[in-house]
Amino acid sequence: TIRKITVMGGGRGRKKVLPKACEEMMSELSLIDVWRKLNAKEKQFTFYSNPHQSWTRIDMVWMNGEIVNELKEIKILPNEWAHHNLIQIIWKGRKKPKKRWVLNIQL
């Protein structure tokens, strides 16, 4: 379900549950966990807790299903400077025009 978050640490994996109010809001707004949708079998995490020595994917990108089709790619990138990893989103681009636009100086 959308409420489960995987936590890895201490040699074991376990699931934590998002609050019910969060699940209701996501359902009402038709929000999708985009990274999970596009990376269904991947196990990557965005946050490392030093005191608990565990990794969690707590940083997420939620989008309405209508704009998910505009995504080209979404990746979790390493970050050596903070406890949180980066999430990179690449949008599908429009094709570049074949010729360069030039200002009409006669206007």
pLDDT of residue 14: 55
CA–CA–CA angle 15, 58, 12 (5° rounding): 35
Per-residue pLDDT for 1 more than 50? no
For residue 98 the two structure tokens come to 């074949």
Residue 14, in any domain of the structure: no
Q: How many C-beta neighbours within 10 Å does residue 60 have? A: 14
pLDDT of residue 35: 79
**Lowest-pLDDT range, 3-17, 23-37, 48-62?**
3-17
Q: How many C-beta neighbours within 10 Å does residue 46 have? A: 19
Domain enclosing residue 29, as ranges: 20-91
Q: How far apart are CA 46 and CA 57, in angstroms?
A: 5
Global pTM value: 0.58
Residue 106, in any domain of the structure: no
Q: How many C-beta neighbours within 10 Å does residue 14 have? A: 12
Number of folded domains that form the chain: 1
Residue 15, in any domain of the structure: no
pLDDT, one tens digit per residue, over 44-101 is 777 666 677 777 777 677 888 888 888 888 888 877 777 777 888 888 876 666 777 7
